[in-house]
Copies of this chain bind each other. A is one copy, B any other.
C-alpha cells in the first residue's frame, strides 16, 4: 500500500495523487482505497505519513562527530545528490501547493519545519561548544539560516540539475558553513 502511494507520489506529485491512480498502481479497486480511507483528505494524510517515513528511514550518512562536521552531514543528507533524494525532494516541494491552500496541511508542514530545525539545533550547539562557531552566535538564527539555505539549494537544484550537480551543491554548502565560521 505505502509502496503504491509512494510510486504515485514520485511519478505525479501530490497534485496527481488520486484514489484511482493508487488503486491502479496496486492492481486493486477503488473500493479497497475507500475501505481504508474515509476520504481523500485521509489519503493525503497517509501519503504525507508515507513521505515522512521514507524521509526518516532514507539512507543517510552518519555524522562523523558532533559540531560543524555533524551539521554539514545533516544538511548534506537533505540535498538532492542522488536520483532517489531528488525524487524525495520533488515530492515534498510538490506538497507545498496543497499545504499552502489547506490550513490543516499548512500547520502540519509548519510542524515539520519546526522538527527539522529542532534536529539541526544540537549540531549548532555542539559547533559552538567546539569553538567552530563564535560563542555569541544566536543558535535559532543560525539554524533558520542553514535550513533556509539548504532548501533554497534544493529548489534550485530540482529545477536546474545540470547547473547544480552534486559536487556543486556540496561546494556551496561548504562555502556557506565556512563563511558562517567567520573566525575559521
Contacts and interface: CB of A to CB of B under 8 A. Distances in A.
A114 interface: yes
Given A114-B160, A182-B182, A148 B145 contact: no
Interface residues of A, number: 44
23 contacts: A12-B101, A15-B101, A93-B96, A93-B97, A93-B100, A94-B97, A97-B97, A97-B98, A110-B160, A113-B160, A141-B171, A144-B172, A145-B149, A145-B172, A145-B175, A145-B176, A148-B149, A148-B150, A148-B152, A148-B153, A149-B176, A150-B152, A151-B156
- Tally of this chain's copies: 2
A150 to B, nearest CB: 7
A177 to B, nearest CB: 10
Nearest to A157: B148
Interface of A: 12-16, 90, 93-94, 96-101, 106, 109-110, 113-114, 138, 141-142, 144-145, 147-153, 155-156, 158-160, 164, 171-172, 175-176, 179-180, 182
A98 B138 CA distance: 37
Contacts of A94: 96-97, 100-101
Please provide the 9 A-B residue pairs with the shortest distance between their CB atoms, ordered closest to farther.
A148-B152, A97-B97, A152-B152, A151-B152, A94-B97, A110-B159, A148-B153, A149-B149, A110-B160
Contacts of A14: 97
Contacts of A155: 96, 148, 151
